[in-house]
Structure 1
Amino acid sequence: MTFPETITVEALDRDPFPIYARLREEFPVTYVPAVNVWFVTRWDDVQTVTKSPDIFTTEAGASPPDKAFGQPNILSAEGHDHKALRGGLEPHFRPKKVADYIEALVAPIAKDYLSRIQSKGSAELMSEYFEPVSTLALARSLGLEDIDADTLRRWFHGLSAGATNFENDPVKTAANYAVASEIEAHVAPVLARLRDEPNTSPLSQMLHFGMPEGESRSDEFVLPTLKVTLLGGMQEPGHGAGTTLVGLLQNPDQMTEVLTDPDALIPRAVTEGIRWVAPIGTQFRIPVKDTELGGVTIPKGAPVTVVLASANRDETRFENADSFDIHRKAVGTATFGFGHHFCVGRWFAAAQIEIALRVLLTALPDIRLASTDPVPFSGWEFRAPRELNVSFTPNAT
């Protein structure tokens, strides 16, 4: 039995990085039976797959997001559909546009949730701070104003169950279906209103971008991409922020530097944090013909996962790749993907993480881990601290 045949979902969820390291060294392109896909784990090969749409298409039809959320969706669509779906979202998430609104959007939410914990002297930051800030900021940015953080977090976890269901677990399928149905029921009247009364929100633009005067897209066309956007936009910033803080807390010298010069070093810490542990670890592709890569032949139509989290730890690109280092030479990362399917919300996500961390560290500069035990992480497609328990000197709100 070869090493890839011994890999389990449980081992990947527990800690995929030793597995990825061995795969990069011995089996850089290989089929992994436990999750029913081929893994591509080296930096150069990941770039080859994601930048070769004529050979590796996103029009898979069998990826977990396709099964969970339906089609067309922005992850797997190509051609006209991809242009229409991305065109509705992209203008709102371009760097200059994000810079215009992100502080006013995120800082009040962050300060609100900070005020709920800063007098206590301790907190579990994933559930009490980072995830609520991330979910609310994304929803309000899209134009969904009337949903509370608890509902959004529940939506996120249900959507995540479907998007990560490589092993076809019926429990995950059921969890995803229940939440997806709830989202559709909640959003339908919002879309109906925006169809008659368009505005500048991404939701409205998804309906109307590029359409002839007086026409709009159907709910069925828009909803799969909305679910994908809700999932990625809620997950990446909140989990990336938690991971970045763990990196700083585990490296006190680097934390001291960040506290001394936050404007310069928080952005560097964020870039490093989401390289060190990529919040979204994979992208899905299908080869349109038998294709040689990494010394093996991937059959036409075989499901392929490019492992962005592994590319971010490739020893040929990153020195001491397993370490968290805010002074790492800037060489670019795989965190947001490559090619024309790179993450449309990359600038929004990075800016949101920076603001959430700045608000937190400004108010609680002596923040520290509550225990000497290792911070528990889980997940391989979506990886983040399961809990992030911290202590700090309480202060008045």
Structure 2
Amino acid sequence: MADDSLTGEALFNDPYPVYARLRREAPVALFEGTHEYFVTRWQDCQTVGANDAVFGPSASDNRPEARVFGIPNVLSMSGPEHQALRAGIDYEVQQQRVDGYIEDLARPIVVKYIDAIRSQGEADLTQQLFEPISVRIVGDLIGLTQIPNETLQSWFHAINGGLQNTVAQDPAVWARCDQAIADIDEVMRAMYEKVCAAPDATLFSHVVYGGLPDGQRRSFEDIMPTMRVIILGGLQEPGHGAANAAYGVLDDKEQSGLMRTEPSTWALKAYDEGLRWIAPIGVTPRVARQDFEIAGTRVPEGASVAIVLASANRDEGRWENAEAFDMRRKKKANATFGYRPHFCSGHYLSRAAGRIALEEAFARLPGLRIDADKPVNVKGWRFRGVVNLPARWDA
């Protein structure tokens, strides 16, 4: 039976029973493990997310994000400085730009990795397909074209481990996280020197120069906390979004049939539903700038607040049969990409890459199905995904 107690272990193993209980009994609850108030109902999350004047971004050194990413970063900033940095980040991932390059960038990568496993008749779709596709697409866009997939995957797994280590405080997990950060900094310092000498079209170069007056650039120290955010969220989210969606589809006979028959029709619907069903990024942090009462709970000034996106996405008051994956649902906005002004910059790129990955996987791997002899592994709560998705197909 699922554990619905508010503990770090229960959240990591499966947070959804915990969130369901909180929505019923304590929709705003203090989680002692991370010293933050969890806001779990859809409408309350909307209230907090839309009220940037009261619930601003958290720049506290006590936050796990500060320990892992560094402060300030794009998630902790506000005002004109944040707007200028977002201008640099957003340029290459805005819809018009993505529409212009996504087919030439993404589809050859997707086809390459599918062709590499197709004759095998079986594979771990997360580890051998969706994660490699995701890190290659986004890694190339960032400018990490010479860094192998295995390294990129190890980076975001190590950073992710650090963010989820704030309760257990496992020294080995911190050691891997710190080593990954050091390796990232070493690689990106060389990239920084290169774009300082000659700006280029990479997302990294746009972060260095974007949103600033001509002739100015950000320092290496200024941009690296934000680049760590981009590396974790950007490299991970499209892959885990696709894996989550594929698991939902493959676990349902009728939806599997629809996807196999018309992958181009259903791929984006499946990806969007997967983002709702298992949000790859489960929470987004805020800090209360003044005392505030919500859902009968007083949140004191200075308190850390976690908008639990994953819980909002399964609120029974907003979605019928909210716990189930159903790509046939009537389209309705979910909370996965957060709230403005911190709405995820890469949302359109993520959806475009995920659509192509799912479309090609179901089109090119006939009879795609879950391998019933091997376990599917889903874990995490700050970042959650289907980390192992064993599958078979008719080779």
Alignment-derived partner of residue 57 in structure 1: 56
Q: Is the 8 A contact 2:58 2:304 kept in 1?
A: no
Structure 2 counterpart of 1:370, which letter?
Answer: D
Alignment-derived partner of residue 94 in structure 2: 94
Q: When the two structures are aligned, how many residues end up with a matched partner?
A: 391
Distance 1:328 1:213 in 2: 47
Shift of residue 236 of structure 1?
Answer: 0.8
Alignment-derived partner of residue 67 in structure 2: 67
Shift of residue 211 of structure 1?
Answer: 2.8
Answering whether residue 49 of structure 2 is matched by residue 45 of structure 1, we say no
Q: Residue 341 of structure 2 aligns to a residue in which SS?
A: helix
Q: Is the 8 A contact 2:244 2:274 kept in 1?
A: yes
Shift of residue 384 of structure 1?
Answer: 1.1
Alignment-derived partner of residue 113 in structure 2: 113
Answering whether residue 301 of structure 2 is matched by residue 300 of structure 1, we say yes
TM-score relative to the length of structure 1: 0.95
Q: Is the 8 A contact 1:85 1:225 kept in 2?
A: no
Answering whether residue 150 of structure 2 is matched by residue 150 of structure 1, we say yes
Alignment-derived partner of residue 8 in structure 2: 9
Alignment-derived partner of residue 19 in structure 2: 20
Which stretches in structure 2 are left out of the alignment for 5+ residues?
none
Q: Residue 321 of structure 2 aligns to a residue in which SS?
A: coil
Distance 2:16 2:184 in 1: 34
Structure 2 counterpart of 1:176, which letter?
Answer: C
Shift of residue 240 of structure 1?
Answer: 0.8
Structure 2 counterpart of 1:228, which letter?
Answer: V
TM-score relative to the length of structure 2: 0.95
CA RMSD of aligned residues (A): 1.6
Map 1:1-397 onto structure 2 (within 5 A): 6-61=5-60, 62-167=62-167, 169-171=169-171, 172-371=173-372, 375-394=376-395
Q: Is the 8 A contact 1:367 1:393 kept in 2?
A: yes
Q: Residue 328 of structure 1 aligns to a residue in which SS?
A: coil
Shift of residue 386 of structure 1?
Answer: 2.6
1:30-78, Cα deviation, whole Å (9 max, x unpaired): 1011232211000011111111111011033232222211122111111
Structure 1 counterpart of 2:196, which letter?
Answer: R
Q: Is the 8 A contact 1:72 1:81 kept in 2?
A: no
Shift of residue 273 of structure 1?
Answer: 1.0
Distance 2:316 2:372 in 1: 31
Distance 2:36 2:6 in 1: 12
Distance 1:120 1:373 in 2: 16
Q: Is the 8 A contact 1:73 1:85 kept in 2?
A: no
1:78-102, Cα deviation, whole Å (9 max, x unpaired): 1122112211110111112111111
Q: Is the 8 A contact 2:89 2:345 kept in 1?
A: yes
Q: Is the 8 A contact 2:127 2:387 kept in 1?
A: no
Shift of residue 254 of structure 1?
Answer: 1.1
1:184-225, Cα deviation, whole Å (9 max, x unpaired): 011101111101101222111111123333321100111111
Distance 1:312 1:214 in 2: 44
Give the fraction of aligned pairs with identical amino acids, expressed as a percent: 38
Distance 1:204 1:34 in 2: 38
Q: Is the 8 A contact 2:267 2:356 kept in 1?
A: no
Q: Is the 8 A contact 1:125 1:389 kept in 2?
A: yes
Q: Is the 8 A contact 2:58 2:285 kept in 1?
A: no
Distance 2:314 2:368 in 1: 28
Pick which of 84-93 and 210-219 moved more.
210-219
Pick which of 78-87 and 160-169 moved more.
160-169
Structure 2 counterpart of 1:23, which letter?
Answer: L
Distance 2:157 2:308 in 1: 21
1:16-41, Cα deviation, whole Å (9 max, x unpaired): 11110010000000101123221100
Structure 2 counterpart of 1:205, which letter?
Answer: H
Q: Residue 189 of structure 2 aligns to a residue in which SS?
A: helix
Q: Residue 355 of structure 2 aligns to a residue in which SS?
A: helix
